[in-house]
Amino acid sequence: MAAALLVGNAALAADDVAPALPSAGTDRWTLSGFGTLGAVWHEEDDTRFRRSIEQHRGGRANALDFGVDSALGLQVHGALSPQWSVMAQAVMHQGRHGEWGPHLVWGFAQYVPNDWSEIRVGRLVTDIYLDGDSRHVNYAYTTVRPYADVYGRLTYDGFDGADATVQQALGDGLLRFKLFGGRTRGSVYLNGADFDMDGARTLGATLDWIGPELSFKLSWGNMISKEDGYAGLRAGLLGLAQLAASPLLADHALAAQAAARAGELSETSRVSYFGAALGWERGPFSLQVMATDMTMTLYPRFEGWGAGMTVAYRVGRWKPYVSYSRSVIDASEPELDLPQRLPSALAAFEPLLGGLRVGWSQTMTSASHDQHTVGVGVRYDLADNMALKLQVDRIEAKRSSVLLSDDGSVTGPRALTLLSATLDFVF
């Protein structure tokens, strides 16, 4: 799978003999990579399908789109000694401005002093995926992509910091606990606006147990940002409070409400999640189930959950599967009771009221999401390092922050049948 470039002692000279194994004082550098060439198609007008909310564009109706799932990753790994190694991985994929990167996904130094602990420092990824710590390596997944309804919303999964893992044999498997934290990396593209998460703090932990047939994972994470995205809305609410309290309007209830909402708009936002996943493989049969609970404590407070399941059965090189995923997230704050019209004496302030109404509506709905997907597909392993996948998804959404309208905004009700084809490979 990897092209091994050995530096130092190559003790064996024949064509088919083994290269030297790494030992103290001998570096072993490996260059490897992965990629996907993918295409999607659907016929739902005014709808763009995105794999994740960090993508600027999505696949639009009646057009074959090669940008949603296509990606290329290159990785360099250096085994400096039995205890020390370094790794860097860059991935090219469609980003929030339509650019293709490359983006540095991993870049760390790893220290493994013994078999029950390890520490990594550098650019890392939060450990929330059952199929590995990455949403970019499609070859590792049975399906074309990780559940877009669920994982497509968690794009701020990179951070610059450290993680520490300890493991212990338990029964016929291994129990592992990981603690991680650092400075958040990632971005979100919603309603035509970029939200850069750089500078926020990430903290989390995972606990998993891996046995011969069964694997189980619990994950918890927090991202805390001091990015103030509500300065304009706060100023508008304070202006409305002053206006409402003036003798011209004398609506003291509205003044109090607007002032209270302005005070509640926090300058600190927190995204918290808690997830559980289970995998079971026996012979040709495999089952994966996951669920996550999410809370966003920026104002308004959003709460929601996501879940997914994939059932597959391998028959030689073929692996047919079915999948289901669902995610719901909604604002849990009451609406702002804005007046429909102002008195004629205050007509000049109607644009302020109109702007507030639009801004408030966008704030309340910006992250709202209620979408589910039923998928059927097949994976065919063409070779030891290459797989072809064909998948049909029926996506239904009451509202979606993953799908986009043609104007780039969060969508209302949508129902589409998405056809996907990918060629995944590793080298």
Partner 1 sequence: MRAPFFFSAFLALVLAASPLAARELVVIAHRDSAIATLSREQASHLFLGRVKLLPSGARVNVVEVEPLRELFYRRLVGRDIAEINAYWARLQFSGRTQPPLRVVDAAAATAVVVRDPDAIAFIEGAALDARTRVLLRLEP
Could you tell me which stretch among 47-55, 247-255, 377-385, 390-398 binds partner 1 (CB under 8 A)? Answer: 377-385
Options 75, 323, 366, 411; binder of partner 1; rule CB under 8 A: 75
Q: Does 391 bind partner 1 (CB under 8 A)?
A: no
* Residue pair 385/425 in contact by the 8 Å Cβ criterion: yes
CB of residue 5 to partner 1, shortest distance in Å: 13
Residue type, 303: E
Q: Does 18 bind partner 1 (CB under 8 A)?
A: yes
One of 13, 315, 345, 348 touching partner 1 (CB under 8 A): 315
| Total residues interacting with partner 1, rule: CB under 8 A | 59
Element (H, E) at 204: strand 201-210
Stretch that binds partner 1, among 139-147, 226-234, 295-303, 397-405 (CB under 8 A): 139-147
- Residue 31 touches partner 1, criterion: CB under 8 A: no
Q: Is 77 in the site for partner 1 (CB under 8 A)?
A: yes
> Among 57-65, 128-136, 400-408, 412-420, which window interacts with partner 1 (CB under 8 A)?
128-136
Residue 44 engages partner 1 in binding (rule: CB under 8 A): no
The reply to whether 114 sits near partner 1 by the rule CB under 8 A is yes
348 binds partner 1 per the rule CB under 8 A:
no
Closest to partner 1 by CB, 178 or 326: 178
Q: Given the rule CB under 8 A, which of 59-67, 126-134, 238-246, 347-355 is the region that contacts partner 1?
A: 126-134
**Distance (Å, whole) CA 59 – CA 406:** 10
| Cα–Cα distance for residue pair 262/223, rounded to 1 Å | 23
* Contacts within 8 Å (CB) and 24+ apart, 39-43: 39/64, 39/65, 39/66, 39/69, 39/420, 39/421, 39/422, 40/64, 40/65, 40/68, 40/69, 40/418, 40/419, 40/420, 41/65, 41/418, 41/419, 41/420, 42/416, 42/417, 42/418, 42/419, 43/416, 43/417
Report the site for partner 1 in 211-250 (rule: CB under 8 A): 212
β-pairing, 410-411 vs 414-426, is unpaired
- Give kind and range of the element (H or E) at residue 258: helix 252-264
